Amino acid sequence: MTPEQFAQETKSGKLRPVYFLFGEDAAARGAAVKALKASVAPDPFNLNELDAESAEEAVSAANSPPVFSDRRLVLVRGSRMPAEARRAMAEYLADPLPSTTLVLQSDDKKPDARDALANAAAKHGGVVVFAPLGEDEAAARLTQEAKRAGVTLAADAAEAVVEEAGTHWGILRSELDKLLLFAKDRKTISREDALACLGYRQSANPFDLPRLVMERKRVQALEVLGRLFEEGVSEFQVLSGISREVNRALKARRLRAAGVAEYQLAGQLRMPPFAASKLLQQAQALGEARLVRSLKACVETEAALKSKSWLDPQIELERLVARLTS
């Protein structure tokens, strides 16, 4: 099941005998377990939190009927469970106690078909996969969480936070908390607010530079690049933004050439429709050969900066920007 389905089931109170949470986002898994605990609200007599190595104790707790309650919650901490412990858990799940909910976790991206414990949990429909968020999904979740806090987060503000912090929900949740504190009593958070909270001035931030490069506005791009270095922005962060935009443009052109409708590009590129349409226009104007050369130039610049410590990062990036905007 998806994390959203798991959350709905948690709220309904109709719980399964086991939930096995998979995925690399430990923070998202932890938040899901926390929500489950809050929903069940077990007293100390009906809550067992044990380490992954304590299989015998966990199985014993799971087999114990709840005390003056409808449900016992057994949470197994950690994802590294010894083979013997996994076998014991799988045997328990062949005939689990209906009044117990057992919660297991794994850092693996998804269940392995050869994993007997995962298969045992799957028979109860309790496998939950916390797949990595896409950029658009992360932005949408940020917007939704801000709304729950009574604040409207502008779409371009959410996009700026995701581009800066990535799609790991634990990190994004922390950034949102900081942004809510930064905004204080304001009911709307703009892109400028987000950039200020992230530590950038409105006139100099890493998100404007890729746009200026794609528009071939050399003078403005070099000015922004200079201010970014003055503010101490990493050369690799700057380079990553440019590479990402060039790669998106190349992907947009190839998708369109493959017959993907223009209105479908936004979903494929994980960006707002108006931005996808503009990027496609730029990509069509530049042509595939030039986009490939531009992407190759970005890779060469990154390799040079990583292998030749004596190079001046600002000079190398100025050369790259000049080359891409020629």
Given a cut of 80, whether residue 150 has pLDDT beyond it is yes
- In the chain, residues under CATH classification 1.20.272.10 are 208-324
Q: Residue 203: is its pLDDT beyond 80?
A: no
Q: What architecture is the 3-129 domain classified under in CATH?
A: 3-Layer(aba) Sandwich (3.40)
User: Any idea which residue has 């503000």 for tokens?
Assistant: 157
Q: Which of 118, 133, 114, 40 is nearest to 79 (CA)?
A: 118
Q: Kindly state the average pLDDT of the residues 6-10.
A: 90
User: What CATH number does the domain located at 135-198 have?
Assistant: 1.10.8.60
Q: How far is residue 209's CA from residue 225's CA, in Å, rounded to a whole number?
A: 7
Query: What tens digit of pLDDT does each residue of 92-148 get?
Result: 999 999 999 999 988 888 888 888 999 999 999 999 998 777 777 888 889 998 998
Question: What is the location of CATH 3.40.50.300 in the chain?
Answer: 3-129
Residues making up the chain, counted from first to last:
326
Residues of the chain within CATH 1.10.8.60 domain(s) are 135-198
Instruction: Choose the weakest-confidence range: 156-170, 192-206, 293-307.
Output: 192-206
* Per-residue pLDDT tens digits for 226-277: 888 887 777 888 888 899 899 989 999 999 889 888 778 877 776 667 778 8
pLDDT of residue 99: 94
Instruction: Say what the pLDDT of residue 157 is.
Output: 86
At 288-303, the pLDDT tens digits run 999 999 999 999 999 9
Residue 200 has pLDDT above 70, yes or no: no
Largest CA distance in the chain: 76
What does the pLDDT read at residue 290?
93
**pLDDT grade, residue 21 (50/70/90)?**
very high
Token digits for 172?
A: 């994004």
The set of long-range contacts for 259-264, using a CB threshold of 8 Å and a minimum separation of 24, is none
> How does residue 202 score in pLDDT terms, banded at 50, 70 and 90?
very low
- Per-residue model confidence (pLDDT) at position 65: 93
Q: How far apart are the first and last CA of the chain?
A: 50
Contact (CB, 8 A) for 233 and 239: no
User: Can you tell me the distance from the alpha carbon of 115 to that of 294, in angstroms, rounded to the nearest whole number?
Assistant: 45
17 and 121 Cβ atoms separated by less than 8 Å: no
Residue 253 tokens read as 């052109």
> Would you give the distance in Å from CA 2 to the centre of its chain?
15
E strand intervals along the chain: 18-22, 47-51, 72-77, 100-106, 127-129, 152-153, 188-189
> Lowest-pLDDT range, 9-23, 36-50, 194-208, 228-242?
194-208
Report the pLDDT value the prediction gives residue 206, as an integer from 0 to 100: 65
Residue 59 has pLDDT above 60, yes or no: yes
Class of domain 208-324: mainly alpha
pLDDT at 201 over 60: no
Across 273-284, average pLDDT: 84
CA-based angle 4:190:217, to the nearest 5? 110
Q: Which amino acid is at 22?
A: F
Contact 43, 75 (CB under 8 A): no
